Amino acid sequence: MPFYNAKIVRSKCPVIAAFKTTGETVLIPCGQWTCPKCSRMLARKWARRVRLHMEARPGLWWHIVLTFGSDYRKPETAFKALPRLWDSLRKELKRDYPDWQFMAFVEGQAKTRGGMPHFHIVSNQHPPSKRGKQGQWTERGLHDWAVKRGFGHQAWCELVDGPKAAWYVSKYASKGDPSMPKGFRRVRASQGWTKDPVDPLRKLIVPAKGESLIEFLIRVNASTGLDMETLYQHWHEAQEALKRANREDED
What pLDDT sits at residue 176? 83
Going from the first residue of the chain to its last (251 residues), give the mean pLDDT of each consecutive group of 10, the final group possibly shorter.
67 91 92 90 95 96 95 91 96 95 91 82 96 90 96 96 96 88 92 85 86 93 94 93 80 56
249 phi, psi to nearest 5 deg: -70, -30
Contact present, 151 and 157 (Cβ < 8 Å): no
For 137-196, write each residue's pLDDT tens digit. Answer: 999 999 999 999 999 999 999 999 999 999 999 999 998 888 888 889 999 999 999 998
17 phi, psi to nearest 5 deg: -100, 155
Any bridge partners for residue 107, and if so which?
Answer: 118
What pLDDT sits at residue 198? 76
| Domain boundaries 36-189, corresponding CATH code | 3.30.70.1910
Q: Rounded to whole angstroms, how far apart are CA atoms 79 and 179?
A: 8
Q: DSSP letters along 144-189, please? A: HHHHHTTS-S-EEEEE--HHHHHHHHHHHTT---TTSPTT---EEE
